[in-house]
Structure 1
Amino acid sequence: MTVVDNLWYLADEADQRAEQTYHRLAGDHENYVEYERTRTVSRSRFRTVADRIRENGLPYGAHTLVYRDSGDLLLVRHEGVDMWVVPGGEVHADESLREGARRELREEAGIDASYEGLGILARVNFRSDGHHAWGVLPVFAARAETMELAVEDPDDEISEARWFSDLPEDTRDRAELLTWRDQML
């Protein structure tokens, strides 16, 4: 019996959805920072990521880059990756990308923010055993409306939320966050 590997088909569907999502976001927003990353992953991880991308174009969900008038940025400690990251995560089927980012912000930091548009639009390429697919990482920019932080993450991935004037060295995508802050604030 021959086993047919459908990863090429899954990757093609993921690419098409990512393209749609990217063009919709780029067309709806302006003045955002762009960057691109490439990750080599295992076959099983590739399948998982491609499935996620096929749903809405996003491998990692939607995120929010929250700032205070002082220029401080909000980061959360993600124990799964052992780094400081901007709040965000999976977008549910009944949510817009911004609604998903807002819900994740409330869960991971316990605050509300006034959304101003797209802060960062990243392209994340995935490679595995000759297969490739890409997805979109949208990071919305928002001004904090409340300042007191409270982590209520149902996934137990986030252990702490904190405001930073100087970003820690172990901040994911640190250079891009600093570029955004320098250009926009």
Structure 2
Amino acid sequence: MTVDDLWFLADQARQRAEQAYHRLRRGHADFLEPVHTRRVSRDRFRTLATRVKATGTPYGAHTVVRRRDDEVLLVRHEGVDMWVLPGGGVDEGEGFREAARRELAEEAGISATYGGLAMATRVDIRCGGHQTWGIMPIYQARATEESVPSADDPDEEISAARWFTVDDVPADTRDRADLRAWFDHVADD
């Protein structure tokens, strides 16, 4: 009988995700915690679990960038054919906020003043009888009114970067409801 190595990988990933989550909880307050489930193929499960084992996050660190009080920056990600928040993978030795800041500069060509954590999205990853989870930190930042984004992604995944008013966020925006909930949350403060 052979033991499935995915079980061990999933367990190691879960442990790393818990460490990353607790580190975020200690360093930040008043952030949203949405939960998403992704059912994936066995190969994709292995890829995502390997990422989580290495960094605690399956999709890296992201930024919700505001300009004025009612505009948000989105980038067009060709790999998923959707508008998304700028962000991506965490390099070895890099913190989540540093990764989010680097990815913002790479994908949208702007810099911003970072605040705290906007969201810590729990991503439950499932494949057959295997499951694990990872955290996706999303930081909040402010850009100046003069900030003009430009897509110049070295990975060539991002084809456009644009400001949208909160009420005009495209229907094909990943996790659109989470973004709307966050804007409602900060409006109540």
Residue-pair matches, total: 184
TM-score, normalised by the number of residues in structure 1: 0.96
User: Does residue 183 in structure 1 map to residue 182 in structure 2?
Assistant: no
2:13 is paired with a residue whose SS is helix
Residue in 2 that maps onto 1:161: 161
Residue in 1 that maps onto 2:128: 129
Residue in 1 that maps onto 2:112: 113
In the TM superposition, residue 157 of structure 1 has moved relative to its aligned partner by 0.5
> d(CA) in 2 for partners of 1:101 and 1:70?
21
Residue in 2 that maps onto 1:104: 103
TM-score, normalised by the number of residues in structure 2: 0.94
Residue in 2 that maps onto 1:94: 93
Residue in 1 that maps onto 2:33: 34
In the TM superposition, residue 3 of structure 1 has moved relative to its aligned partner by 5.0
Residue type of the partner of 2:67? R
Residue type of the partner of 2:39? T
In the TM superposition, residue 56 of structure 1 has moved relative to its aligned partner by 1.1
1:103 is paired with a residue whose SS is helix
Indicate the percent of aligned positions where both proteins have the same amino acid: 57
Per-residue Cα deviation, 1:10-31 (whole angstroms, up to 9, x for no partner): 0000000000001110121111
In the TM superposition, residue 86 of structure 1 has moved relative to its aligned partner by 0.2
Coordinate RMSD, CA, aligned: 1.1
Residue type of the partner of 1:62? A
Residue in 2 that maps onto 1:149: 149
Q: Structure 1: which 5+ residue stretches go unaligned?
A: none
